[in-house]
Amino acid sequence: MNLYDRIPNNVNLSEDKRLQRALEKWLPNYLDWWHDMGPDGFQDKDVWLRTAIDVGSEGWAHFDYVKMPDYRWGIFLEPARPDAKVGFGDNYSAPAYQEVPGEFRNSLRRIIVTQGDTEPASVEQQRQLGHTCPSLYDMRKLFQVNVEEGRHLWAMVYLLHGYFGRDGRDEADALLERRSGNPDKPRILEAFNQPFDDWLNFFSFTMFTDRDGKYQLSALAESGFEPLARTCKFMLTEEAHHMFVGDTGLSRVVRRTAQLMKQSPNEDVRQSGGIPLDIIQRYINFWFSYSLDLFGGEISSNSADFFAAGLKGRFKEQEQYTDHIASEGSFTMMVVEDGKLVPREVPLRNALNEVLRGEYVKDCEKGLARWNRALADEGVNDRLSLPNIRFHRHVGEYSSHSFDIEGNLISKEKFEKRKTQWLPSIEDREYVRSLMRPVTEPGKIANWIAPPAAGIKGKPFEFEYVRL
Ligand SMILES: [Fe+2]
Ligand SMILES: [Fe+2]
């Protein structure tokens, strides 16, 4: 098998022998990891998958049946722009960095490793879900997300091998050694150590946690370190599909619940095997709050340093802003002082995590509006909502205090007492799990979710997306 078939790429890998050797050494370890920790029970099945073959906006993807271990993971970067400039910060408009700037080597490596770690982690979290898929269409969507997260790992490993020498290689190996939820060698970020054994978790995760990925990648796609910017730009095209899976998945669950409410006495959907809206709301509360943590502390000297250095920008830095220096200006946020919530002014550069988080929240609200439209369409009066950003936080200003769902400061005791009202209880999770029975006949679907509005790439919903 030639090199391009083993490692599809658009980075002239065959001309860089050192990098080629390093990646070829990493490849069998990656495949071992995929066999051990990738989707359980379906590795030898033909799945109708999309494969990235080029980065061109027209037809970059190819659809065909493929067994997941034979998926062509590869390295694809947006084409280089010879005149690329640093787009923001203290070095604004200097030529973009083609190599890692020495003084930021450690922080940049940390950014890449942290992003890279989430990719295999999510595959591990999702590895049992194939066994309980609500339809073949959904099973294929799950596997598509899984192989693309695998490719995202490749993207980050390429940067580590290509630009960080020895310690980059060690980090690339460590990415295959940590395990989601393992107490001795956990994944780096907490949302990626949460177990999930039901599809409501999967849809919530791809809606809220993959969407954090979109914002992190967008900020890095602005980076003055060009190889990182080009890598992230291409990853974003795949990420969009993951969020689509989450957004439409939850929308279909909500719609089905509404339909069952209208059919059931007292709108009690447990009788008819649906997922009650209050359970859906608690899953939203859980995943939204954990995903907010992924943006980091509200007041952050790291965010200021990364921006100053031109490494991590704001969301749509070039399109949305005119002042790319941002060295003046401030941002007002609520903090807890002497047991009270009070506004505090923070230098803008130190508040950039919070600025990015704000963009993310706006995006999530659009999803909620869509789901609420589904409820209205079906004639149900209840509505879903996002909790306040201070609720149930484990990172940053709010993590050492307790807040109710509206963001009011409350005592820890009060929070504990009302917790099951706001967050999924063991009974909620058991109930949802009890509904998770596999439906694998083409064209059939589980009772707790509505079918999708359309199939995939012109194929009907009844298409045999996975050959079992
Ligand atoms: Fe990803
Ligand atoms: Fe993703």
Each residue's pLDDT tens digit, 130-175: 999 999 999 999 999 999 999 999 999 999 999 999 999 999 999 9
Higher pLDDT, 81 or 456: 456
* pLDDT classification of 80: cutoffs 50, 70, 90: confident
Ligand lying closest to the C-alpha of residue 241? 2
Ligand lying closest to the C-alpha of residue 119? 1
Report CA(8)–ligand 2 centroid distance (Å): 20
Q: How many CB atoms lie within 10 A of CB 182?
A: 12
In the structure, ligand 2 is a single-atom ion and the residues with CB under 5 Å from it are 210, 242
Report CA(238)–ligand 2 centroid distance (Å): 7
Chain centroid, CA 372 distance in Å: 23
Ligand lying closest to the C-alpha of residue 142? 2
User: 292 with 209: CB under 8 angstroms?
Assistant: no
Query: 418-436 pLDDT, tens per residue?
Result: 999 999 999 999 999 999 9
Report CA(250)–ligand 2 centroid distance (Å): 16
Report CA(422)–ligand 1 centroid distance (Å): 28
Report CA(260)–ligand 2 centroid distance (Å): 31
Residue 2, H or E segment: none
User: 362 with 211: CB under 8 angstroms?
Assistant: no
| Residue whose tokens read 């294929």 | 140
Report CA(365)–ligand 2 centroid distance (Å): 19
Report CA(148)–ligand 1 centroid distance (Å): 7
The amino acid sitting at 389 is I
Ligand lying closest to the C-alpha of residue 126? 2
Report CA(113)–ligand 1 centroid distance (Å): 13
User: 176 with 33: CB under 8 angstroms?
Assistant: yes
Ligand lying closest to the C-alpha of residue 240? 2
Helix boundaries (H) for 60-164: 105-125, 136-163
Q: How many CB atoms lie within 10 A of CB 53?
A: 15
Q: Which of 31, 19, 25, 23 has the alpha carbon at shortest distance from 7?
A: 23
Ligand lying closest to the C-alpha of residue 234? 1
Report CA(97)–ligand 1 centroid distance (Å): 24
Ligand lying closest to the C-alpha of residue 231? 1
Report CA(87)–ligand 1 centroid distance (Å): 24
Chain centroid, CA 181 distance in Å: 17
| Residue whose tokens read 């694998």 | 440
Report CA(397)–ligand 2 centroid distance (Å): 27
Q: Which of 209, 215, 289 has the alpha carbon at shortest distance from 250?
A: 209
Instruction: Work out the average pLDDT over 279-287.
Output: 98
Report CA(359)–ligand 1 centroid distance (Å): 19
pLDDT cut 90: percent of the chain above it: 88
pLDDT value at 57 more than 70: no
The predicted pLDDT at position 58 comes to: 56
Say which residues have a Cβ less than 8 Å from residue 204's Cβ, sequence separation at least 6.
246, 250, 283, 284, 286, 287
pLDDT value at 1 more than 80: no
Report CA(211)–ligand 1 centroid distance (Å): 10
| Residue whose tokens read 């859980």 | 286
Sign of CA dihedral 306, 307, 311, 315: positive
User: 439 with 134: CB under 8 angstroms?
Assistant: yes
Instruction: Work out the average pLDDT over 246-254.
Output: 98
